[in-house]
Amino acid sequence: MRDETSHELQVALRCVIEASRVCQRVRTEMVERAAVTKADRSPVTVADFASQAVICRMLSEAFPGDTIVAEETSAELKDPANAWLLSRATGFVRLSFPEASEELVCRWIDKGTRETAPRYWCLDPIDGTKGFLRGDQYAVALALVMDGKAILGALACPGLPMDLDRPGAPVGVIFYAQRGKGAFQIATGEASAVPIRVSQEGLGSGIRFCESVEPGHADQERHRTVALRLGIAKPSIRMDSQAKYGIVARGDASIYLRLPSPVSPDYREKVWDHAAGVVIVEEAGGKVTDTLGRPLNFGLGPRLTENKGVVATSGHIHEQVLAALEGS
Ligand code: AMP
Ligand code: MG
């Protein structure tokens, strides 16, 4: 099975595995002192910067001509008030690349841009930074986009249990997919990948839906209304990051709802929050659109400017879920 993987996929998997190793080190060693607040008031941590530096370094070595669209820039690191942040981030990057200096770390981070290209790598070095800081779920998310479509996705979820219903189950999962070649998961420390499929269950009281932990990132009240209309009796699974796409892809949840929050109705989703997850769910047999049923267009810059909200499902129930949104 691994023999069929492309060079791109092998590199992408190495990138997310290496970066998530760095993130886990940051998490165990210094999470309380790891964060600063960005201009948009969202948090960013030593791990976001270290993860982006490591992945941009690896990607640009393997594919020197490729564009990388990534969440972070070195701007915060260069602020003299944040000298400690640069120094700590560099220390963690050295675990992977002993030659790393503060200057090199900034240069590697800035290999990431905000301009999309016909072919580009789409990186969220830590998706779900708030979850990372809370000790909940986060993901390292990397996708390859061609002509506006995600064609490869690799998603490391270091804190995700292999079995959601067994609290003591081992944690740490990598999801991946290539367009046309199916979706897979690998448990941390295991060598072999296992194919994954979405749930085959029809709508009804037995199915589960998932949503963000953060009430400001979506319209959770409307999610509840839609769930009731669909006959869903179980409470939602609230989870940070694209780990939600992973649990839809392997059938733990049938629906991931992300309807625009009433607090920020004009918010347009960012490409790096979705690209990897979309290809994984679709290759597992599911479907992902915006709230109006349109496919997500990743070719228009760093935001999904033509889309509103996101709905991911196990596929066969997608039209029913979209219908339940109308007038909700
Ligand atoms: P989640 O853990 O699913 O809430 O996803 C985290 C992502 O939500 C972050 O990476 C942010 O880019 C994104 N985000 C921030 N503000 C909003 C918002 N108002 N609506 C939707 N997503 C947001
Ligand atoms: Mg993110």
Query: DSSP for 251-286?
Result: TS-SEEEEPPPTTSTT---BGGGTHHHHHHHHHTT-
With a 6 Å cutoff on the Cβ, whether 190 touches ligand 1 is no
Q: How far is the CA of 217 from the centre of ligand 1 (A)?
A: 5
Q: How far is the CA of 130 from the centre of ligand 2 (A)?
A: 9
pLDDT tens digits, the chain, 328 residues: what are they? 444 579 999 999 999 999 999 999 998 887 556 778 877 778 789 999 999 999 999 999 999 999 999 999 999 999 999 999 999 999 999 999 999 999 999 999 999 999 999 999 999 999 999 999 999 999 999 999 999 999 999 999 999 999 898 878 899 999 999 999 999 999 988 989 999 999 999 999 999 999 999 999 999 999 999 999 999 999 999 999 999 999 999 999 999 999 999 999 999 999 999 999 999 999 999 999 999 999 999 999 999 999 999 999 999 999 999 999 998 8
Atom of ligand 1 nearest to the CA of 137: 2
* Angle (CA) 152 155 160, round 5°: 155
| 165 a catalytic residue | no
| pLDDT score recorded for residue 36 | 82
Atom of ligand 1 nearest to the CA of 258: 21
| pLDDT score recorded for residue 309 | 98
Closest ligand by atom to 128 CA? 1
Q: Which helix (H) or strand (E) holds 322?
A: helix 318-325
Q: Pocket of ligand 1, candidates 48, 51, 137, 214: which has the most ligand atoms within 8 Å of its Cβ, to mutate? A: 214
CA distance 209 to 75: 38
Q: What is the pTM of this model?
A: 0.96
With a 6 Å cutoff on the Cβ, whether 241 touches ligand 1 is yes
Contact 257, 311 (CB under 8 A): yes
With a 6 Å cutoff on the Cβ, whether 48 touches ligand 1 is no
| 79 a catalytic residue | no
